[in-house]
Structure 1
């Protein structure tokens, strides 16, 4: 649990109750998602099918967050050598898997047998979150008000995204997004949200990208969400006229730029996450706002009955 995160008894229980993937992937309304959500060459994107595969994803996350980046691991994490928290038990885990016999730089994420996990995303649907104490994002941003305002729209949280360094290329990222889009289509998700991270905890050094986001990507009133007051850091650290657009874009992480290209909004205020060594912003992406030019890659949205908002 992060510093400042709300306490939910269900979250504490998840640390001690053995989990299974079946209830999360099965749904009486929609049925199970497809076995495979996309493939390019030797790379396949699909959901984790076993606890062993989830552990391989957690090992990959540990490598990226704690060894490559600047996250601070406690003794338990160092011994386990996997990035684990209570939310893993209730999330679906999207995996990019390399079926090649010798994937580049990935032996630690293939277990004793089988293909290697080289990319991952954690997905949490609203109906699952509400049965288990809420979203991870609510520890940093006041998303509950937005969800209530927008009922009966269906929300989904994206988080814990990472790709093995040797696989960080357009092909892998597009495959991940293809998997996310297939999942969104299957479960008729209306809104994606989650924390996106800028590396570093010194907000003054991040003044340019934070100010760029504030002045160019702030959510309109109907989608606006504030950071938790006790953790909120202002993002408008420079006047709009002083923001060098090209330099700011160069400083934004590729993931954040990808969200913006799709049509995402950014919340009000950032949050410094000292454990992970990042400064987090809230990303809100209504499916209806996705730029149609990307449907050529991922497919147009399915026709569905309109859902009125409050």
Structure 2
């Protein structure tokens, strides 16, 4: 019999949904470690979300986590964490179930690239199981200065901006309007080297971003709104995700 909340097992890891308050507390502690907050990282959104945990099978160590908020469609976007920072009138007309992925983090002591693959494989199981048509969230760059990321932002401007009809509007008090300000031609290799791994994966699957980054001093990050229509993921990428999602 499958374990309750189990998404997948593969190699040395398993991915599952939190089943108890202690699971959520462990995720909050990992988030605090990764985002360098003084206490457990928690807010009012946690209670409304499902929490995905990736654990090492041998030790039980929590190596990765994120939270997922299911919405029935764009009309519910104001319930999302992202709506605090971005104006989303275009996306409010989106028809179909959506899921906001937030607080994604990998334990800094665990550098195995399989962890990210397992997390995305588990995400594929979740998305398929709930009929999600759009995955979205805030993708973060460490720190609040854009200087080291200018090639990355230039690449986002030239290749990965959201469709105009869905493009998020400025709402936060402090933003970096990279699409309007940057005139440079991006160095693609340098850009990808400085692109956060989560955002890089979104982009490889056909994801798109807002035309500005929010300066979030509280989290010491810059973040861009990121969207991914699940139906637009290239077939080759879908096969790779579902191969991982197939488990052992």
TM-score, normalised by the number of residues in structure 1: 0.72
Q: Describe how 1:102-121 pairs up with structure 2 within 5 A.
A: 103=59, 115-121=60-66
Q: Which residue of 2 aligns with 1:170?
A: 113
Alignment partner of 2:44 out of 75, 86, 92: 86
Structure 1: state its 5+ residue gaps. Answer: 1-32, 67-72, 104-114, 301-310
- Is contact 2:74-2:98 (8 Å) kept? no
Aligned-partner Cα distance in 2 for 1:149–1:142: 13
Alignment of 1:249 onto 2:192: yes
Aligned-partner Cα distance in 2 for 1:88–1:121: 10
| Number of residue pairs the alignment of both structures matches | 240
Q: Which residue of 1 aligns with 2:126?
A: 183
Alignment partner of 2:30 out of 60, 65, 85: 60
TM-score, normalised by the number of residues in structure 2: 0.89
> Quick check: which one's strand share is greater?
2
Q: Describe how 1:1-310 pairs up with structure 2 within 5 A.
A: 35-66=5-36, 73=37, 78=38, 81-100=39-58, 103=59, 115-127=60-72, 134-143=79-88, 145-150=89-94, 152-228=95-171, 230-236=173-179, 237-240=181-184, 242-299=185-242
- Is contact 2:215-2:223 (8 Å) kept? yes
Question: Shift in Å at residue 180 of structure 1?
Answer: 0.9
- Is contact 1:90-1:128 (8 Å) kept? no
1:64-105 deviation digits (Å, cap 9, x = unpaired)? 110xxxxxx4xxxx3xx31111111110000001221xx3xx
Question: Shift in Å at residue 226 of structure 1?
Answer: 2.1
- Is contact 1:119-1:163 (8 Å) kept? yes
189-198 or 222-231, larger mean C-alpha shift: 222-231
- Name the SS of the counterpart of 1:165 in structure 2: coil
**Cα distance 1:231–1:154, how it changes in 2: closer, same or farther (>3 A)?**
farther
**Cα distance 1:82–1:299, how it changes in 2: closer, same or farther (>3 A)?**
same
Question: Shift in Å at residue 128 of structure 1?
Answer: 10
43-52 or 81-90, larger mean C-alpha shift: 81-90
**Cα distance 1:202–1:48, how it changes in 2: closer, same or farther (>3 A)?**
same
Aligned-partner Cα distance in 1 for 2:10–2:117: 10
Q: Which residue of 2 aligns with 1:16?
A: none
Aligned-partner Cα distance in 1 for 2:239–2:76: 35
Question: Shift in Å at residue 245 of structure 1?
Answer: 1.6
Question: Shift in Å at residue 298 of structure 1?
Answer: 2.4
Larger radius of gyration: 1
Structure 2: state its 5+ residue gaps. Answer: 244-248
